[in-house]
Structure formats: C-alpha cells, structure tokens
Copies of this chain bind each other. A is one copy, B any other.
C-alpha cells in the first residue's frame, strides 16, 4: 500500500483559491487562540495562509481526539458552510496564523456567476469525505500500533522531525499516553525513530510503513 493512498491530497486548491479570491476577508489568530468551538454556529469557509491550526473533536467527557494539523493552503470549515448549523470540530491556532474567509451568502452569489466555483467546491467536499472515510476505517480496522505509525508518517511528511509531546500524539491516535510511550520505545529499540523530549525524529519511513500495514485486525 502506497503512502499517497493514505495522504489524501487536500492541497491542490489553486483553482479554488483563485475562484474564491474576490470574496475573501482577512483574519488573524495569535498562538493558542481558538477560531471556533465544536457546536458553535458559524457558516464561514476558511483558507489558511500562514501558520498552523489544529482540528480536534471533543467528547462530552472532556476527552479529545485530534484529527489533523492544517498547513498553509488548506481550505477548511466546509461542513457548516455547506450545511449551515453547528461546527463539528474545534479549530485552534498552534502558532500565530493568518487566514481569509468567505461567508456563505457571498459564495452562493459567486457560484451563480461562475459555475466552475461550484464544481471546485464539490470536489473539495468529495476529497474531504474521502479523508473522513479513511479516518473512520483506520479507527475501526487498525490496531493502535498501526494507527500510531500512520499518524507518525502523516505528521512527518514534510519534515522528519515531529515537534509534539507523546501526550499530544496520543490524542491523535485515540489511546493513552503510556501506550504511545511503550510503542515509541519499541520503535527506538528497533531503530525506526529517535526520541527526545517533545520531539520524534523518523529514521526509517519504510519500516514504519510496514508496521502500519502489517497488523490489520
């Protein structure tokens, strides 16, 4: 199984961005600031220009599942934009970030003038659904070690070093901090990664891919 099968590409948004451009307003977030909470009412569609954002969902119990880290160029917030209602996730700035956004009314109007915008948005929706579908499959079918391998590979796709505590990583995988620690220690002993406080350096990507694929339940 190739890596691209796992990394659904949400980055080819140039066409979409140029189509959106005229409808966008600007916005800045400082590090740690929350853009919106799960269950907020808000129908804006966003584009991240600079910085990094975290997408997460929260259980009533307070438990948190981190879904993704958004990089510049990402378009997000489609669910409540396409189907007005509550937000299904929380978006929080990991660092100071600059974004732009469009309101629903503006875009509906833009779509009537330019049908290409509509089909670009539909394709965006299709890609996001593919990505969500894979998240669900992974969560159901992959054991914790494979999920951890998948997330580690994903998070290190642009840089072999991941700046994240093991506790944060555990929130991505949906397991306890202790289990992440044990698995990472095994990987360190196997020469797959190098560990230090708050950092994981990936040494052997293909080894991790094997780990990810070899243990399907």
Binding site for B on A (CB under 8 A): 57, 59-61, 63, 65, 78-83, 85, 88-89, 108, 111-112, 115, 118-119, 121-123, 125-130, 132-137, 139-141, 174, 216-217
Contact = CB atoms under 8 A, between A and B. Distances in A.
Contacts of A132: 129, 132-133, 136
Nearest to A59: B141
A161 to B, nearest CB: 27
B89 A125 contact: no
Q: Give the oligomeric copy count.
A: 2
Nearest to A60: B216
A125 B82 contact: yes
B217 A137 contact: no
Nearest to A117: B118
Contacts of A141: 59, 61, 63, 65
A30 B177 CA distance: 50
Contact of A79 (B85, B115, B130): B130
A126 B60 contact: no
Contact of A122 (B57, B88, B122, B130): B122
Given A118-B122, A140-B65, A216-B61, A133 B82 contact: no
Nearest to A86: B130
A127 B61 CA distance: 25
B57 A133 contact: yes
